[in-house]
Amino acid sequence: MTLLEMKNVSVHYGRIEAIHDMSFTVEEGEIVSLIGANGAGKTTTMKTISGLLNPSGGSIKFMDEDITKMKAHIRVVQGISQAPEGRGIFPAMTVLENLDMGTFGRKDRSGVSDDLERVFTLFPRLKEREKQFGGTMSGGEQQMLAIGRALMSRPKLLLLDEPSMGLAPQFIRQIFKIITEINGQGTTVLLVEQNANQALARAHRAFVLETGAITHSGTGKELLANPAIKEAYLGVG
Amino acid sequence: MSMSDGPKPLQTSKSAQGTAEAESHGVPPGSSAAVARPRRTFGAWSDKWREMPRTKQWLVLLPVVVLAFLLPLMDIPLITTEPGNDWPLACQAMAIFALVAVGLNIVIGYAGLLDLGYIAFFAVGSYTAAMLTSPDSAFIKIPYLWTIPVAIAVSMFVGVLLGLPTLRLRGDYLAIVTLGFGEIVRILATLIPAMKGQPGFQNVGHPPGVGDDGVPVFANNNGTPWYWLTLVILIIILFLVGNMERSRVGRAWIAIREDEDAAETMGVPTFKYKVWAFALGAGVGGLAGAIMGGQVGFVNNQKFDVVTSILFVAAVVLGGSGNKVGAIVGGALVAYIPLRFTAIAEYKFLIFGVALIIIMIYRAQGLVPARQRLLAYGTKAYADVKRKYGKASHRADTTPQSTAEGASS
């Protein structure tokens, strides 16, 4: 089943077009990666899906419902949850309070403790630090917190904006391992990355973004093997 | 870390290093003490305070409240303002400023909306009270006490009216627009004939009651009853604001203050909550204005300048943005200092300016820093998890503590 469908979506900042006529789909149960260089429109795409930006053209469908005009805070309730670029941690809240904010839009209070347990199982580090302030944690811990917080709304679609940004190489592998684990538990994942290697290796399907438009698409393995992509994004060739 | 069983996919060398670092300082990594916070004098108090049960908190508060009520009757040497200024009236000024600061704290401290024109709502409240009670006004007259709810309603309405178009702006832009709005109300008071500009409104109403000597209890120069009235209102407002702070609404405000986009993607309808903060803040401002108008007995366009508005912001920031106790301290101090030290009153803006700079350098969170609490259901969910984890493996809580102690000893 198609979970998310972007159809001819364009986004403008003032008069500058950041995304041009973009179309792609995310199927239920997949990990889909968007890779691209700085300024390719990756974060813009994510913000458009989560509802922080309004498209100037095209339509977005989520579970066969048109959400093009839907506000961001309602999309969360519908099942789209984002771990934003730069992590977006609430610095003056503790880890637990940050996680708690993730449940803000939820109607069912009863499932909250199950999800908290799930997050703590995925990230035992967060449990150790549950009373620590978000702003005082390391980059990696903040990234865990951002992903954990996004999971607290029990999303159908998890949007991850550059989860590897600013992390040590060993840590990047861990984060991607956990992303695969989250996906294995039944959450569809759409992630954007500059770290093309990991993003392509872990993805079922992937798209390459260049100056606001999709230039390549295929399975993760196909794109990993593509010579042009190897040269441009993987630093070999 | 002796996390021997259970999944631990993130025990990388990096995180292990972080733990070792925390342990070498002898701080349990799971505790809030691991957070480097400069000067925790007040922080330690507030930690203790939070751990107290509600009934115990009330018991501690009772003498404080009694003392606050007795304040205008006590002539403490060095603290009192006599003979230059009347001490009960000074107490009243402090209470009004504290009330204003508590209201503005909702807007600036909780929701993080820098409102430089808060004086506008104060003015709206004052004018509402004046125009509905003063014989100089052409409007219908109602008893003074009834003007208080009317003033709250009118200022909240104005707050929403101003908030709807402007709260789409952020940060500096919002500050500039509110600054303009503060001026607009004052200028309107000059231009609109019904608001009587500089001549203003004399003999603004006051609560009923006449003393044995035939002088009204709430005479303009009789500070004590006015102070008591303001104090009762302040306590009611504190109670309401306290409940709001602990509720879902309060959490939403804090999230908006910290990161508006993140809050929105957590499911917080940010615009709605910002308008709410604005309206509630405006309501408290209007309330304070109505009391001020009644106590002074005279309302004209000269009192509501931008400088006073900035003074309100200074009170909130000085006391500790985001903390209602801080707001009271800040508000009371800003009112008290020029009245107590009349020799330096002329330089009050210079002094507060310097004080603010010093505060920003050495204690950026203000005199009484803010701390947030969990939502009730969050705490409950946490307790559930703790119970689940607790029986099987309570080492998760105890071990880091003991290893840390071992390392430090």
**Best interface-test mutation with B: which of A71, A113, A126 has the largest number of B CBs within 10 A?**
A113
Handedness of CA B42, B313, B375, B404 (dihedral sign): negative
**Using an 8 Å Cβ cutoff, are A104 and B251 in contact?**
yes
DSSP B214: S
Mean pLDDT, residues B221-234 taken together: 93
Best CATH choice for the domain A1-77+188-237 from the list 1.10.3760.10, 3.40.190.10, 3.40.50.300, 1.20.990.10: 3.40.50.300
Instruction: Tell me whether the omega of the peptide bond preceding residue B88 falls within 30 degrees of 0, making it cis.
Output: no
**Pairwise CA distance, residues A219 & A225, whole Å:** 10
Q: What is the pLDDT, as a whole number, of residue B397?
A: 42
Q: A179 CA to chain B: closest CA distance, Å? A: 12
Q: Does A116 sit within 8 Å of B267, measured CB to CB?
A: no
Give the one of A100, A125, A144 whose C-beta lies nearest to B375's C-beta. Answer: A100
Q: How many residues make up chain B in this entry?
A: 409
- Asked if A176 is an interface residue toward chain B (Cβ–Cβ < 8 A), one would say no
pLDDT tens, A132-141?
Answer: 888 888 888 8
Which residue(s) pair with A207 in the sheet?
A34, A217
Closest to B178 in 3D by CA, of B122, B119, B128, B103? B119
Q: What is the pLDDT, as a whole number, of residue B356?
A: 84
**Pairwise CA distance, residues B258 & B111, whole Å:** 9
- Beta carbon pairs, A and B, within 8 Å: 166
User: What angle separates helix B270-296 from helix B223-246, to the nearest 10 degrees?
Assistant: 170
Q: Which residues of A touch B248 (CB under 8 A)?
A: 104
pLDDT tens, B290-348?
Answer: 999 999 999 988 889 888 999 999 999 988 888 888 899 999 999 988 888 887 778 88
- From first CA to last CA, the distance across chain A in angstroms is 37
Q: What is the pLDDT, as a whole number, of residue B4?
A: 39
pLDDT tens, B59-98?
Answer: 888 888 998 898 888 877 777 776 778 889 999 999 999 9
Residue type, position B170, single letter: R
Q: What is the pLDDT, as a whole number, of residue B352?
A: 85
Q: How would you write the pLDDT of chain A (237 residues) with one tens digit per residue? A: 899 999 999 999 988 989 999 999 999 999 999 998 888 889 999 999 999 999 999 999 999 999 999 999 999 999 999 998 778 899 888 898 899 889 888 887 778 888 898 999 999 999 998 888 888 888 888 999 999 999 999 999 999 998 888 888 888 888 899 999 999 999 999 999 888 888 898 999 999 999 889 998 999 889 988 888 888 877 665
Residue B231, pLDDT > 60, answer yes
| List of residues 6+ apart from B238 with CB closer than 8 A | B102, B324, B328
Q: Strand A57-62 and strand A31-36: pairing?
A: unpaired
- Asked if B375 is an interface residue toward chain A (Cβ–Cβ < 8 A), one would say yes
**Residue spans per domain, chain B:** 87-362
DSSP H/E element including B377:
helix B376-392
- Name the pLDDT band for B140 (thresholds 50, 70, 90): confident
- Name the pLDDT band for B45 (thresholds 50, 70, 90): low
**Best interface-test mutation with B: which of A49, A100, A176 has the largest number of B CBs within 10 A?**
A100
Which chain B residue shows the shortest CA-CA distance from A175? B10
- Stated pTM of the model: 0.82
Mean pLDDT, residues B195-205 taken together: 84
Q: A91 CA to chain B: closest CA distance, Å? A: 7
Q: What is the pLDDT, as a whole number, of residue A168?
A: 84
Residues 62-121 (A) with a CB less than 8 A from some CB of B: 71-74, 76-77, 81-82, 84, 88-94, 96-97, 100-106, 109, 112-113, 116-117, 120-121
Starting from the edge strand earliest in sequence, which strands make up the sheet with A213-219, in order?
A80-83, A157-161, A188-193, A31-36, A205-210, A213-219
**Residue spans per domain, chain A:** 1-77+188-237
What is the secondary structure of chain A as a DSSP string? -EEEEEEEEEEEETTEEEEEEEEEEEETT-EEEEEE-TTSSHHHHHHHHHTSS--SEEEEEETTEE-TT--HHHHHHHTEEEE-TT----TTSBHHHHHHHTTTT-S-STTHHHHHHHHHHH-HHHHHTTTSBGGGS-HHHHHHHHHHHHHTT--SEEEEE-TTTT--HHHHHHHHHHHHHHHHTT-EEEEEES-HHHHHHH-SEEEEEETTEEEEEEEHHHHHH-HHHHHHHSS--
Q: Does B374 sit within 8 Å of A170, measured CB to CB?
A: no
Q: B201 by DSSP, 3-state: which?
A: strand
**Pairwise CA distance, residues A186 & A29, whole Å:** 6
Q: Does B265 sit within 8 Å of A88, measured CB to CB?
A: yes
- Asked if B13 is an interface residue toward chain A (Cβ–Cβ < 8 A), one would say yes
Which class for A46: exposed (0-12), middle (13-18), buried (19 or more C-beta within 10 A)?
A: buried
**Pairwise CA distance, residues B149 & B167, whole Å:** 25
What is the secondary structure of B285-308 as a DSSP string? HHHHHHHHHHHH--B-TTS--HHH
Q: Strand A205-210 and strand A57-62: pairing?
A: unpaired
**Using an 8 Å Cβ cutoff, are B259 and B170 in contact?**
no
Mean pLDDT, residues B18-34 taken together: 37
- Name the pLDDT band for B170 (thresholds 50, 70, 90): confident
Give the one of A116, A171, A181 whose C-beta lies nearest to B14's C-beta. Answer: A171
Q: A93 CA to chain B: closest CA distance, Å? A: 7
**Best interface-test mutation with B: which of A107, A132, A176 has the largest number of B CBs within 10 A?**
A132
* Domain B87-362 classification at class level: mainly alpha
Starting from the edge strand earliest in sequence, which strands make up the sheet with A57-62, in order?
A16-27, A2-13, A57-62, A65-66
Here the tokens at position A77 are 């309730």
**Using an 8 Å Cβ cutoff, are B204 and B130 in contact?**
yes
Residues 206-225 (B) with a CB less than 8 A from some CB of A: none
Which chain B residue shows the shortest CA-CA distance from A52? B261
**Pairwise CA distance, residues A86 & A94, whole Å:** 18
Q: Strand A157-161 and strand A80-83: pairing?
A: parallel
- Asked if B82 is an interface residue toward chain A (Cβ–Cβ < 8 A), one would say no
H runs (alpha helix) in B266-375: 270-296, 306-319, 324-340, 348-362
- Asked if B387 is an interface residue toward chain A (Cβ–Cβ < 8 A), one would say no
| List of residues 6+ apart from B258 with CB closer than 8 A | A90, A91, A92, A93, B112
